[in-house]
Amino acid sequence: MYCSSCGFEMTDNFRFCPQCGTAVKIPGAPRAYPPLRRMRDDKKIAGVCSGLARYISLDTTLVRILMVCLAVWGIGLVLYIVCWIVMPLDPLYLAAPQAQNAPMAT
């Protein structure tokens, strides 16, 4: 078997490529979906459309256009508000604190 990212040859028992670290796609395995959460980074109002786009693997702009079309009929606004309330926000990932290597004054 070869890695689809870097082309490294590996045996069938690897779950990750030892060369580049990419997860190996196993044929016949079910697709792993990302968590359904509102995004912090790519949001215009509340991050609902970008979270839905990430979950169903579509372009964010396409999901936003579909939501606006549904809002014209009245169901989109209700759906957006319900998703805003029900969908949790992505966790905030902070960088690890840096250790200071300053000499101590005695």
Q: Are 43 and 64 in contact (CB under 8 A)?
A: no
Count of residues in the chain: 106
Per-residue pLDDT at 103 = 63
Share of the chain above pLDDT 90, in %: 6
Q: Say if residue 83 is in the same domain as residue 53.
A: yes
Considering the domain boundaries, does residue 96 fall inside one? Answer: no
The domain total for the chain is 2
What is the maximum alpha-carbon separation in the chain? 73
Residue 47 sits in which domain range?
33-90
Indicate whether 43 and 80 sit together in one domain: yes
Please, what is the end-to-end C-alpha distance for the chain in angstroms? Answer: 60
Closest to 60 in 3D by CA, of 41, 79, 88: 41
pLDDT in tens, 4-47: 677 777 777 777 777 777 777 666 666 666 778 888 787 788 88
84 in the same domain as 48: yes
pLDDT of residue 31: 64
Model pTM above 0.85: no
Predicted pLDDT of residue 69: 92
Looking at the fold, whether 17 and 61 belong to one and the same domain comes out as: no
- The reply to whether 39 and 81 lie within a common domain is yes
